[in-house]
Structure 1
Amino acid sequence: MPQLRPKSQSRDVKIAVIGNNTVGKTSLSLRFIYGDFHPGYFHTRGGDIYLKQIKVHDQTVNLKLVDTAGHPYQRSLIGPLYKDADGVIILYDVTSEKSFNALDDWIIAAQENNCREVVLVGNKLDLCKDSKKQEEVTNELKLIADRHNLRHYLVSAKTNLNVNRPFNRLLREVLQRQAAEQARALIKDKEEVHQLQTTEKQVSGCFDCIMS
């Protein structure tokens, strides 16, 4: 009898953070991985990879977080870094209209690179001092997220506001999808084994008839 795999089996998950330059991709990545905020501007060249092992419910996740560059001249080069990613955070700066207007292009890029789960995230919410501005930003993000049927979050890497939420959501969705895919593969394997056993019995029966 085949042994059942333990529920605590570790899983590998690749999540990428993409978006325009200076929107805070590195700050967000470092805040999630290390829990610290680094106020200096990091000019990412190509992409940086961070590894972290975390617990999601009863499962251990080996997370590979890809922090990508956002300069226009590098966009054609970073695609392979996040191609086939299990999850993608498309980040923009809530104080930058240019980065907001680029969201559609980044969504298309994620689709073209076969990224599975995608969320939209607005960073630097701490710079929206009054409630009216926060409401405006919220409505703008919700509008584009609804148009593409994507989940959306507003965060601040500086103050650590909501930083874990998009990552945790992606991780849960990725694990659910992986579990469903594993279940389908198991059912398919059982069906193939059953079909093979049935075929072998039929062949054996015909052979017995010939020899009798």
Structure 2
Amino acid sequence: MSRRGEEEYDYLFKVVLIGDSGVGKSNLLSRFTRNEFCLESKSTIGVEFATRTLKVESKTVKAQIWDTAGQERYRAITSAYYRGALGALLVYDVTKPITFDNVSRWLKELRDHADANIVIMLIANKTDLKHLRAVATEDAQSYAEKEGLSFIETSALQATNVEKAFQTILGEIYRIISKKSLSSNQPRDNHDDDAPSNINIKQGKTITVGGPQPSNTNNSCCTSSM
């Protein structure tokens, strides 16, 4: 078990949020980590991250969620942050078809830069705007099935399925890591280089994450909670 200050945990999982600017990535992050929603949130500059420690099955997992800027001019910067990610939440806005059309481009970028075994979930956000919906659930489900992705619809504003989305992807990561950990205990030396490049693991140790360290900036405007 690893210790950071007074906090103890069994695993550290890095998960990235990706998708076009304005789809609600930052509010999904703040809703999950602080139970806050900011109506006047500004575009993320570069990369920010927040953490939350929770139970996944019988283990204590510290989730480190990285919020990547969706603007085109930052894509060259954020691509470096895929390194070490064990999971990715690919977000689009159900009221803006172009953000769904761009999912395939984000998925290609993710698969080009991330580990081949990364767990990916497609998230349809802003389902509270029912009267403005422009992307059908069936279309997204069909795309997710074709690409082998998990799929869920959320509302960061109403806190709908946000907890479930993160719990689901963290659970999937844990199950994969558990299998790899058991495999690493087969008759061979259990060294870090036995694991995939983005997972440095020994039994009872933290899963380390790579890449440069971002700024851990909180949005001061986020004051409401549900």
TM-score in terms of structure 2 length: 0.76
Total equivalences in the alignment: 182
Give runs of aligned pairs for residues 50-199 of structure 1, distance below 5 A.
Answer: 50-115=50-115, 116-129=118-131, 137-189=136-188
Q: How far apart are residue 183 of structure 1 and its match?
A: 0.7
Is the 8 Å Cα contact of residues 22 and 41 (structure 1) preserved in structure 2?
A: no
Is the 8 Å Cα contact of residues 31 and 159 (structure 2) preserved in structure 1?
A: yes
Q: Which amino acid is 1:10 matched to?
A: D
> Is the partner of 1:50 in helix, strand or coil?
strand
What 5-or-longer segments of structure 1 have no aligned partner?
Answer: 192-212
Q: Which whole-Å CA distance do the structure 2 matches of 1:52 and 1:95 have between them?
A: 29
Q: Which whole-Å CA distance do the structure 2 matches of 1:190 and 1:86 have between them?
A: 23
Q: Which whole-Å CA distance do the structure 2 matches of 1:181 and 1:145 have between them?
A: 25
Structure with the greater relative contact order (CA < 8 A, sep ≥ 6): 1 or 2?
Answer: 2
Q: Which whole-Å CA distance do the structure 2 matches of 1:157 and 1:66 have between them?
A: 16
Q: Which residue of 1 aligns with 2:214?
A: none
Q: Over the residues paired in the alignment, what is the CA RMSD in angstroms?
A: 2.0
TM-score in terms of structure 1 length: 0.80
Is the 8 Å Cα contact of residues 84 and 113 (structure 1) preserved in structure 2?
A: no
Q: Which whole-Å CA distance do the structure 2 matches of 1:9 and 1:165 have between them?
A: 21
Q: Which amino acid is 1:153 matched to?
A: I
What 5-or-longer segments of structure 2 have no aligned partner?
Answer: 2-7, 191-226
Is the 8 Å Cα contact of residues 9 and 53 (structure 2) preserved in structure 1?
A: no
Is the 8 Å Cα contact of residues 66 and 82 (structure 1) preserved in structure 2?
A: no
Is the 8 Å Cα contact of residues 11 and 61 (structure 1) preserved in structure 2?
A: yes
Q: Which residue of 2 aligns with 1:208?
A: none
* Percent identity between the two aligned chains: 25
